[in-house]
Amino acid sequence: MSDTIGLYIHIPFCHSKCPYCDFFSIRGNKTDYSGYVNLLESKIKSWGKKIDKMVDTVYIGGGTPSILGAQLICYILDCVKNNFKVTDDAEITMEANPFSGKIFDFAEVKRHGVNRVSLGVQSANDNELKILGRIHSLDNVKNTLFLIKDGGIKNISLDIMLGIPEQTKESLKKSIDFCFDSGVTHISSYILKIEEGTFFHKHRERYDFPDEDTTADLYLFAVDYLAEKGFKQYEISNFSKKGYESKHNLKYWNLDDYLGIGPAAHSCVNKKRFYYNRSIEDFKNDDIVDEGAGASRKEYIMLRLRLTEGLYFEKYKEVYGELPSKDFFSKTDKYCKMGFMKTDGKSVSFTPSGFLLSNSIIADLI
């Protein structure tokens, strides 16, 4: 069991709801922001008394954390440091939106500990941004990147999206080139999923979404082109320059401890899983849903296979006392022959084409 823990803090506010977004997010005003931060403070204090582990990653996500402004973000960070034992070299990430970023003081949050920013760019093509309902332009992105760097934060991750209506390999190449030319250290490249309940799902007949084969071609192109640009894939949707993998996100895939504070935030602490409901009122009332024990064999296999390094057999044996079943090895051998997985005898992992089918393959394996 790890003696460190990651801390996730959810900020649920956004300027508007993107048509593809399934995360818990709402609109608010300055009064709502201050009230929510006061609520966060009380929860952080309460959890700080229960958690004795050293916090080595902090991730402020959303929603749009930067919508709060630097002063409230700094207040949250100070509250965390006053109530948890935070390591001196902790990775402290804050998500930001290029639109709210234009009036955000990144130098101030840097002084209070933020050393990594994740910026939701999604595309370097204005027509694709419009389709995605984004309220920022590429010029907003450029300006916000300047402000982040000018504020002293050099570890920057950009999000881009695959499978957007009207997207081509040429437009995707433009987005990747933009990220590379911006000098960032990390790129998250997510395939657009039409989640139930979203605007895209309700009005999908309005859009010309690419088919699965086209989206697969875009994904495989992105994997190859990002590698060519020096961004190594380490997880199904994440690429980084050497040494700049997201330490916080790796906790999820490695089954390390993490604590989520905020509505819809999930936790895994001491191999127990729980989460808050998608409601500020439920969060206020400590309405926590117990998911039971975590770190089962199936869960371990599923999460490790999200990483490009895959499942190490001896590590699995260290954790569970024996190697995976003969049936598991028989199935992975089959998928290796099909080109969806690969093995060196010590581990098994997905190939890029295998990642596209990973959900169904993992379901078969476990």
Q: Which fold has domain 4-252?
A: pyruvate-formate lyase- activating enzyme (3.80.30)
Residue 304 burial by CB count (10 A; 0-12/13-18/19+): exposed, middle or buried?
Answer: buried
pLDDT in tens, 221-251: 999 999 999 999 999 999 999 999 999 999 9
Q: Is the pLDDT of residue 1 over 60?
A: no
pLDDT in tens, 265-280: 999 999 899 999 989 9
Q: Specify the pTM.
A: 0.92
- How far apart (Å, rounded) are the C-alpha atoms in residues 210 and 205? 12
- How far apart (Å, rounded) are the C-alpha atoms in residues 310 and 299? 13
pLDDT in tens, 150-160: 999 999 999 99
All CATH 3.80.30.20 domain ranges in the chain, comma separated: 4-252
Please tell me the least confidently modeled range out of 117-121, 127-131, 265-269: 127-131
The dihedrals phi and psi of 207, each to the nearest 5 degrees, come to -115, 150
pLDDT in tens, 27-38: 889 999 999 999
Give residue 49's region: left, alpha or beta (phi > 0; psi -120 to 50): alpha
Q: What is the mean pLDDT of the chain?
A: 91
